[in-house]
Amino acid sequence: MRSSCHNMAEHFHINTPLLESAAMSKRVGTTVYLKMENSQPSGSFKIRGIGYLCQQLMSESKDKGFVCSSGGNAGMAAAYATQKMGMPATIVIPSSTPHFVVQRLEDQGATVKIVGKVWDDANAEALRLVETEGLAYVSPFDHPLIWKGNSSLITEAAATLGPTVKPGAVLISVGGGGLLCGVVQGLKDVGWMDVPVIAMETVGADCLNASVKAGRIVTLDDITSEAKSLGAKTVCVKAFEYSQSNEVTIISEVVTDQQALHAMETFLDEEHVLVEMACGATLAAVYSGVVHRLQAEGHLPLLLGPLLVIVCGGSNIDAEQLSILKQKLQRN
Ligand code: PLV
């Protein structure tokens, strides 16, 4: 796992590169910038929000340590931050998280518990440990301090782009909605509230899309997508509220697992970066023509600025896991 030089007085995340992708720009017909959150310590954007939350909770945790429920990446971030702070951490993951992640978490000094089939099951166990053991609870996505931490992604991108460049849209993935809330708050902070957010999910991990369609928060019966890091059954209230509010435009879209996998492979071929399926959902908006379709249908205004793609990253992937996913999804 990547690490970085870090100053306790500041924060755990790094200022990630903002790369122009020639291949993606050609596809979209406008400049595409990739915010490379895969290069964060712990392998995803999660360290921004989780790192910030853990720092802030430090004073309350009374030395008993932290417990974080996770599909994998929030756990990696929590393990990284707590190890830096010299605090114990228990990470509760579901059995659907690839097994090599357990080893990576343990290498980071965390205690790992595998409970249930999907994230919601693991989360119930984490909440139980808060009650019985007095551990400080670290949600993977549902806390104002997580959103504040995640918002640095946008303020950083804005600083890199400079005052004369404003994106035409921001492209992200949605699991429980912590990234979405952070991005919206970042857009507010930099005065980009007129920049639409394209919020991507996979079929079977589409809790935001199901709620947007129903006009109320709905809980999915099960997570049937292989994008387990997007597999929260219920989106957080704040993310749903943003999707319903007039202060920001959120366009909720869904791709299939096959499209997300194809996007991972294309990204690997063209950009030479391996991301997990949760991030493939974002990339599929470009590679499977979702951005084009939204423009053609008039749901997305013609992009007046570059497309800002948040490459959220993820550690639940390696060469073997990629071939496992290929085998699974080609059968269907
Ligand atoms: N993953 C969470 C929730 O899982 C976790 O525990 O790691 N991209 C990647 C690579 C992610 O790991 C996640 C969240 C997301 C996107 C979506 O972020 P969110 O949950 O803030 O919408 C069940």
Cα(229) to ligand 1 centroid in Å equals 5
Q: What is the pLDDT of residue 1?
A: 52
- Ligand 1 atom closest to Cα of residue 173: 16
pTM, 2 dp: 0.97
In DSSP terms, 253 is beta-bridged to 200
Walking along the chain (332 residues) 10 residues at a time, the average pLDDT comes out as 55 97 96 98 97 90 87 98 96 96 96 97 98 96 98 98 96 98 98 97 98 98 97 98 96 98 98 98 98 92 90 97 95 62
Where are the alpha helices (H) located in 245-312, listed in sequence order?
257-271, 277-287, 290-296
Question: 46-138 belongs to which CATH class?
Answer: alpha beta
- Out of 90, 92, 229, mutate this one to test ligand 1's pocket (max ligand atoms within 8 Å of CB): namely 229
For residue 260, CA distances in Å to 215, 271, 326 come to: 26, 16, 11
Q: Whose CA is nearest to atom 11 of ligand 1?
A: 229
* pLDDT tens-digit series, residues 59-83: 776 678 999 999 999 999 999 999 9
In this structure, whether the domain defined by 8-45+143-331 belongs to CATH 3.40.920.10 is answered with no
Is residue 80 within 8 Å of 291, Cβ to Cβ?
Answer: no
Q: Where in the chain is the domain with CATH 3.40.50.1100?
A: 8-45+143-331, 46-138
DSSP sequence for 158-174: HHHH-TT---SEEEEE-
